Amino acid sequence: MRLLPLTAALAATLPLVTATPALADTARPTGAPAAACALPGRTGWTDEGHDTDHAQFQQAVGTKHVLMLFVDFPDAPATGDLADYYRQLAPAADWLKEDSYGRTRLDITPLNRWLHMPQDSASYGFQRGITFEQHELYVRQAVEAAAPHTDLSRYDMLYIVPTKAASAISFSPTYLFDPTTPGIVVGGNRLKWAVTFGQDMYHWGPKVAAHETGHTFGLPDLYAFTGTDYHRFVGGWDLMGLISGPAPQHLGWERWKLGWIDDRQVACLPATGRRTVRLEAVERPGGTKIAVIRTGETTAYVAESRRAVGGDAGACSTGVLVYKVDTAAQTGEGPVQVVNGNPGTTPPDGCKALDMAAFGPGRSFTDPATGVRIDVLRRGPLSDTITVSKQ
């Protein structure tokens, strides 16, 4: 979750499942540079666009130096061993290293002392839906308490971890600076990014750190902010949706946006035509990772291969995952929507309907409104071969 500064469709289209036609001998697959399928963002905030504003959001590649602070409060004194708090979140570094094919590394350094906040934990407003101003105050006070003990300018961002006794610090929002305000300046350096953890870290585990760090890279939330089914858009297919989902590694589209896969690993169909693509599973490095069929200025369909390996070992279905991207959709309003390739399947225990979405060989997806068709031809141990077309 992230807080907006200054507190300020894919309709229920079921895929048409048909027999897969043979690829005609005369068919000439058409290709295009990947840039022709890169979509611009239109929200002015976190979204799925490729033109991320890196004056406001971190570059997602390279080593990110993270300082972990531990705070307690007059109404919630420190309890427990600092090393236990660190170990609760530190595995996020390994998770992101695997997810990014080694392109993103978190260097997390704990400041091994308790920092005493000047206000009661209940006074910051977490339980009432903390405002940007309250959140910035919380971060500022933690920074002021830490400044005498470390050189904050050495770090790209902060992880602020409260004592487990602070039940009022209930959830884990991300602080993203607002460039139109004075903000938090320490030693002449602007503090731009911080994750303030809450009691939900004990529910979500270390992947909550990876999720929240994703917001500092410019990623939106993929779960729904409204309605009764908060995971109706992507189910358990992406960390930015359901953190504890069965297949939470980042979608191939987001890996491309973040610079974890290269343009040469993207098969682009920006206009009418057809091409056959062998997709290598996104959970492993190398090969073509996504096929993108552009459908508008800010929309596209994406297909990728998913397998139950690595961070996705608990995947409820495997095969070709198809989803629609809309870079004009606001965070929490469905910027990514997964197509359920098996809508009649009864999910096993621990899985939801959308977790069964992956298409297998002989299955097809069509969207008559855009002329898009995706046919799954063959399946390998860690790959799928598909034909994508647009009329």
CATH number where 198 lies: 3.40.390
CB 111 within 8 A of CB 146: yes
Q: Are residues 304 and 347 in the same domain?
A: yes
Identify whether residues 84 and 36 lie together within a single domain: no
Domain edge (last residue) among 216, 245, 273 = 216
Domain assignment of residue 368, given as a range: 9-52+229-390
List all residues 6 or more positions away from 9 whose beta carbon is below 8 Å from its beta carbon: 326, 334
How high is the pLDDT of residue 3? Answer: 56
Mark whether 373 and 290 lie in a shared domain: yes
Report the domain count for the chain. Answer: 2
Same domain, 133 and 108: yes
For residue 340, the tally of other CB atoms under 10 A from its CB is 20
CA distance 379 to 365: 16
Q: Which pLDDT value is given to residue 129?
A: 82
Residue 3 within a domain: no
Q: Which of 161, 187, 216 is the last residue of a domain?
A: 216
- Are 166 and 315 in a shared domain? no
Q: Are 352 and 317 in contact (CB under 8 A)?
A: no
Residue 32 lies in a domain: yes
Among 216, 249, 279, residue at a domain's last position: 216
Q: Are residues 327 and 351 in the same domain?
A: yes
**270, 294 contact by CB (below 8 A):** yes
Q: Is residue 127 part of a domain?
A: yes
Let me know whether 73 and 100 are in one domain.
yes
309 and 165 inside one domain: no
Q: Is residue 48 part of a domain?
A: yes
Rounded Cα–Cα distance for residues 136 and 2 (Å): 12
Beta bridge partners of 132: none
Cα–Cα distance measured from residue 245 to residue 73, given in angstroms and rounded to the nearest whole number: 33
pLDDT tens across the length of the chain (391 residues): 655 443 333 333 333 333 333 333 223 334 689 999 999 999 999 999 999 999 899 999 999 999 999 999 999 999 999 999 999 999 999 999 999 999 999 999 999 999 999 999 999 999 878 999 999 999 999 999 999 999 999 999 999 999 999 999 999 999 999 988 899 998 888 999 999 999 999 999 999 999 999 999 999 999 999 999 999 999 999 999 999 999 999 999 999 999 999 999 999 999 999 999 999 999 999 999 999 999 999 999 999 999 999 999 999 999 999 999 999 999 999 999 999 999 989 999 999 999 999 999 999 999 999 999 999 999 999 999 999 999 9
377 and 358 co-located in one domain: yes
Between the CA of residue 50 and those of 106, 325, 336, what are the distances in Å?
23, 12, 14
Pair 21, 154 in one domain: no
Question: 178 lies in a domain?
Answer: yes
Note whether 114 and 141 are same-domain residues: yes
Residue 222 within a domain:
no
Assess whether 337 and 194 both reside in one domain.
no
Q: What is the DSSP letter of 45?
A: S
Nearest to 6 by CA among 124, 125, 130, 178: 178
In a domain, 224, yes or no: no
